[in-house]
Amino acid sequence: MASCSNPPNTGQREQAQPTDYPVNPAPFISNCVCCWKNFDSFKIAILNAAARARATGNIRYDSRMTVYSHPATLQCVDCEEGVKKRFTQLLSSMYKISKDSEGYINLDCTQTAAMYLLKGTSVMTHLIPVEYQTGIKLPRR
């Protein structure tokens, strides 16, 4: 039977290799349900894209992402000035719209459209710094 022995102490600290990159909860200004749903959707989309890229060795941009909104006027500046204002600029081929049982509008968008809708919001700024968001634009019509 083999015994387990510890490696000799060399006086140097061994660095632990990161196994995962956890995402901390977003620091939203308000407790907007749309923002939380969008944060979860965006986080899942990023993690899925990273896993796909790691498995296949290339990045694909054809997957879709859900962006949530609410038809009522909301107190959240991100929802009113960000998502709702930019929605009118999307082409109809960039999204499919549906409504869930809670009354939220679900926009099943292309990645480009979803990132454009969330650009500058606290949802995206928590995961992607503002200086990296400047290049996010809609394709020319």
Encode pLDDT of 14-58 as tens digits.
444 444 444 555 556 557 888 888 888 888 888 888 888 888 877
Rounded to two decimals, the pTM is 0.70
Residue 133 tokens, joined: 């968001």
User: Is pLDDT of 90 > 80?
Assistant: yes
Boundaries of every domain in the chain: 33-129
Q: Is 65 exposed, middle or buried (0-12, 13-18, 19+ CB in 10 A)?
A: buried
* Whole-number Å distance between alpha carbons of 81 and 76: 8
* Whole-number Å distance between alpha carbons of 32 and 20: 28
* Whole-number Å distance between alpha carbons of 141 and 132: 23
